Structure 1
Amino acid sequence: MSVADKSEKKSGGLGETVSVIVQALLLALVIRTLFFQPFSIPSGSMRPTLLEGDYLFVTKWAYGYSRYSLPFGPNLFSGRIWDTPPERGDVAVFKFPPNPSLDYIKRVIGLPGDRIQMRDGQLYINDQAVPREKIGEIDNPDITEVDRPVDVYRETLPNGVSYDTLDLTRNGLGDDTREFVVPPGHYFMMGDNRDNSTDSRFSVGFVPEENLVGRANIIFFSIAGGASPLEIWKWPSLMRPSRLFNWVG
């Protein structure tokens, strides 16, 4: 084999490797844009449903696609295509309206046209109290983020969706609000950790349908203590096996 033949073979091998890498990256981009996007829980606003250190998949096609379905949210088009409105009670990822570079995750409480209000810690939708039943206490700082027992209430929305909420503080800042009337094309979002959630009661405001990214579906990994999933040596003591492959609801 001549030097030229060896050089051609080496060049061809390098070209094939680069081609495989590019194809893999493009495939990953398509999957992330159209199908599933991994998402990590950055705060405790959705406790006890979601904990910091939970890693989950977000279904991108659930609500159709907007500019924010694409990486970096380029302004290529407005509105949504193949739009499917979220259902009340969905746990949804969306772009923070005042700063769309930030991802938020909350529960869909109010649909367009709804009137939403909190009165003495009770949620009202269209002037009807949402059934709220105390089901016990949680005394686990990994779940509640506080070192004391916390009351847990089960809420059931008008469409039958039920979920647990935490009541960290009686007469908290968000326990009594004005009535919010959800505009057309917008949604009212709330965290399940009612006394520790920046949501539509506060600076989040109403969330435009264009800002929806997808629906949270399944937890595929969970680790406590602020550890990274790459810190494999911490898995035996900090991984939460009971949360793996749990559906988000």
Structure 2
Amino acid sequence: MNSRPNQNIAALLGFFIAPLGFLYVARLWQAVVYIILALGVTGTYIYYLHHPPYWDAILVLCSAFVCSTYIYRLAKHYPDDKPRPHYSRWYGLLGCALGYALIALLIRSFGLEPYHIPSGSMQPTLPVGSYIVTSKWGYGHYGSYGITLARRPLSQSPNRGDIVVYERPSTPDLRFVSRIIGLPGDRISYRDYTLTLNGQTVALEDKGTLAVDWSQAFSHKLEKLPGQYHDIQFSSEIPTVQTTLSAATVQGCTIANNGIDCTIPSGNYFVMGDNRSQSADSRIWGFLPADNIVAKVIHIIP
């Protein structure tokens, strides 16, 4: 007895998990093609269309309905005398699902992991609601979905100007994103929105203003770190002392003349958000230990 596929089960799998639906009706290559097309369409859609309102939900629902209907018809017309392969049985489907979940976990844990940006601390570089893709290999925090697979010392040193995902020493369960401004041994001074690095003032090129909201405009500058240029923003209506008062208690830093002066100890980094007026960073809570760096940002999806 070949146990023909149940049409209702086929329709449900087709609607919620289309690849498993194709496997259930013994269409292995169609499952593979569906996964490839889905990844390609999703990547193109996110990269080029930047999440138009409601379109993503409509696209997903239409695709689910078409797949469900098609897979239902495949189950309905499945030949009585055609043997069902092992991968279409319940244990084969379960194995495929677990294998896919394991591959996804390993990729996100050791390779590439996406993050959503909910705040404006890295504006204008990372707009609120944007997505980033990070590289995790070499940074020692291997895990995803709240699962830790391994912890190793940092084996890949970040460069000045890199945007990194990290855990603050005081809140290890939360992830933040900032730009590395100072390396171990650097002398940092930040005063009146002017950065001095090892005695040299970092040049700023004016790029006009940014209308962040209806009530406030931010100055838009190009900050020229050695070997790396990037955009920053700040508002003169927000005094810099508000972002540096807490640093009086940070070892190696002093507050003077409405600014902060620090010497970065070995094994630590100084990070700041590109939104210099609205970022809780090393000016507030101190230096970032190397072992707290989780990943490096390699791609930004606006």
TM range (shorter): 0.7 to 0.9
Cα distance in 2 between the residues matched to 1:126 and 1:97: 25
Please show how residues 117-156 of structure 1 align to structure 2 within 5 Å.
Answer: 117-139=189-211, 144-145=212-213, 147-156=215-224
Q: Which residue of structure 1 lines up, in the alignment, with residue 139 of structure 2?
A: 65
1:55 to partner: Cα distance: 1.2
Q: Which residue of structure 1 lines up, in the alignment, with residue 293 of structure 2?
A: 212
**Given the alignment, which residue of 252, 273, 282 partners 1:200?**
282
1:219 to partner: Cα distance: 2.6
Please show how residues 100-249 of structure 1 align to structure 2 within 5 Å.
Answer: 100-139=172-211, 144-145=212-213, 147-159=215-227, 161-170=228-237, 171-172=239-240, 173-174=242-243, 176-203=258-285, 205-220=286-301, 243=302
The structure number with the bigger radius of gyration is 2
TM-score normalised per structure 1: 0.75
1:70 to partner: Cα distance: 1.9
Matching of residue 40 in structure 1 with residue 109 in structure 2: no
Residues 193 and 2 of structure 1, relative CA distance in 2, 3 Å threshold: closer
The one-letter code sitting in structure 2 at the alignment partner of 1:56 is I
The one-letter code sitting in structure 1 at the alignment partner of 2:132 is L
Q: Residue by residue, what CA displacement relative to the aligned partner does 1:18-58 show, whole Å, maximum 9, x if unpaired?
A: 10011001100110011110101121100111111001211
Q: Which residue of structure 2 lines up, in the alignment, with residue 94 of structure 1?
A: 166
TM-score normalised per structure 2: 0.62
RMSD over aligned CA atoms reads 2.3
The one-letter code sitting in structure 2 at the alignment partner of 1:147 is S
Identity of aligned residues (%): 34
1:128 to partner: Cα distance: 1.4
Cα distance in 2 between the residues matched to 1:76 and 1:55: 25
Q: Residue by residue, what CA displacement relative to the aligned partner does 1:74-133 show, whole Å, maximum 9, x if unpaired?
A: 4955523xx121110011111121111100000000000111111222011112110112
Cα distance in 2 between the residues matched to 1:199 and 1:76: 27
Structure with the larger RCO, 1 or 2 (CA within 8 Å, 6+ apart): 1
Q: Is the contact made by 2:178 and 2:281 (CA closer than 8 Å) also made in structure 1?
A: yes
Equivalent position SS for 1:25 = helix
Structure having the higher helix fraction is: 2
Q: Which runs of 5+ in 2 are unaligned?
A: 4-83, 245-257
Cα distance in 1 between the residues matched to 2:224 and 2:176: 23
1:16 to partner: Cα distance: 0.4
Cα distance in 1 between the residues matched to 2:298 and 2:284: 26
The one-letter code sitting in structure 2 at the alignment partner of 1:86 is P
Equivalent position SS for 1:32 = helix
1:189 to partner: Cα distance: 0.3
Q: Is the contact made by 2:121 and 2:273 (CA closer than 8 Å) also made in structure 1?
A: yes
Equivalent position SS for 2:297 = strand
Cα distance in 1 between the residues matched to 2:183 and 2:2: 72
Q: Which runs of 5+ in 1 are unaligned?
A: 4-8, 221-242, 244-249
The one-letter code sitting in structure 2 at the alignment partner of 1:188 is F
Alignment size in residue pairs: 205
1:169 to partner: Cα distance: 2.7
Q: Is the contact made by 2:124 and 2:231 (CA closer than 8 Å) also made in structure 1?
A: yes
Q: Is the contact made by 2:202 and 2:223 (CA closer than 8 Å) also made in structure 1?
A: yes
